Structure 1
Amino acid sequence: MPAPVLYLLGSAAPPILDATKVITQAQARGWDVVLGLTPTAADWLHGDLAHLEELTGHPVKSRYRRPGEPNPLPPADTILFAPATLTSINSLALGITTSWAIGYAAEAIGKRIPLLVMPCTNTALTAHPQFDRSIEALRGAGVRVLLGGGCYVPNEPGMGNPAAYPWDAALEALR
């Protein structure tokens, strides 16, 4: 039986720089991992993309396909969108699909593919009134948001520690 397919979607936040580690951990847990990135996250990982494609055995996806272009990726069984920035969370909640990663996650809601979102924001950004509305909208649509309760807890601005991002909690939540 083939391994279940996990789409790991990531925004441009420092924890995305640990993509290799997270993919390896997910693979050790039995997942076939496909990596999808927002355009800025893909730019941040530009020098590592060939390695990440070799590691996953799949192209790293960061743009929409052109009409008629084949889709080389297997369908997702589950999606983890982490790290998810304020922009990505708000865009997803509002259905603003200007990037492939947001569009894929938005479509997953309608297809009822299990979608977990773990933010990576600070307390100043989460104080923006749209953040709570977006979290509420996502949860109302059946998205599991990994915020608080042993998952991601926003830090004070400038006090983030990418090494402390709770990737293990996110991978555990995939069960």
Structure 2
Amino acid sequence: MTEAPVLYLFGSAAPPVFDVAAVIQEAQARGFDVCLGLTPTAARWLQPQLSELERLTGHPVRSEYKMPGEPDVWPKANVIAFAPATFNTINAWSLGLTHDFAVGVVAEGIGKQIPTVTMPCVNAAYVQHRQFERSVSELRKMGVRVLYGEGGFQPNQPGQGRPKEYPWHLLLDAVQEIAGG
């Protein structure tokens, strides 16, 4: 019997992160062993759900770096997904600014050649900032599959987000594809 492929699922503080339990269940239904990592703000937003999310995944939910010398509590990843990925997350990741655990793991994942997909969640005002397009382009050049634009996330006007319409299925389809099945 083969072991389930391990998916590191990371999320940052954008409203679709509140639906992460359903996303975990769908990933598990697709055959993945899911480890959930969050940016510090996303962890604060989900604080009331963290114990349930740990029960659901069977792994600790992580939002902070471990202490040097401590063993890793997650199995090694076969594939990484980061969604929702905010303006700050996309820019920090592409620039290699790893002050957050989640961004640090995905930045290192590029060097470890772990197949990675991300889907932003940003509004139309943020995407007018020139750095955003540069960051998306840079991540793509580093081999990250960025689901943004046609066939991916489409920004809404500020204050007009529709978190229940966030296209999680596109992320999970891409995860399945890049994980080889």
Which TM bucket (shorter chain)?
over 0.9
Structure 2 gaps of 5+ residues are none
1:6-37 Cα distance to aligned partner (Å, 9 max, x none)? 01000000000001100000000000000000
In structure 2, what is the Cα distance between the partners aligned to 1:15 and 1:101? 17
- Measured after TM superposition, the shift of residue 69 of structure 1 is 1.4
Corresponding residue number in structure 2 for 1:118: 119
Residues 15-164 of structure 1 aligned to structure 2 (within 5 Å)? 15-164=16-165
Amino acid at match of 1:33: V
- Measured after TM superposition, the shift of residue 149 of structure 1 is 2.2
Equivalent position SS for 2:21: helix
Equivalent position SS for 1:123: coil
Amino acid at match of 1:123: A
- Measured after TM superposition, the shift of residue 68 of structure 1 is 1.6
Give TM-score scaled by structure 2 length: 0.95
1:103-140 Cα distance to aligned partner (Å, 9 max, x none)? 00000000110110100000100110100110111011
1:59-95 Cα distance to aligned partner (Å, 9 max, x none)? 0010000112111100110000000000000000000
- Measured after TM superposition, the shift of residue 150 of structure 1 is 2.4
Amino acid at match of 2:100: S
- Measured after TM superposition, the shift of residue 38 of structure 1 is 0.3
Structure 1 gaps of 5+ residues are none
In structure 2, what is the Cα distance between the partners aligned to 1:67 and 1:31? 28
Give TM-score scaled by structure 1 length: 0.99
In structure 2, what is the Cα distance between the partners aligned to 1:149 and 1:7? 25
In structure 1, what is the Cα distance between the partners aligned to 2:149 and 2:173? 15
Is 1:4–2:15 an aligned residue pair?
Answer: no
**What is the percentage of aligned positions where both structures have the same residue?**
57
Corresponding residue number in structure 1 for 2:166: 165
Name the Cα RMSD after superposition. Answer: 0.6
Amino acid at match of 1:130: Q
Equivalent position SS for 1:80: strand
> Which segment is superposed worse, 145-154 or 36-45?
145-154
* Off by >6 Å, runs of 4+ in structure 1: none
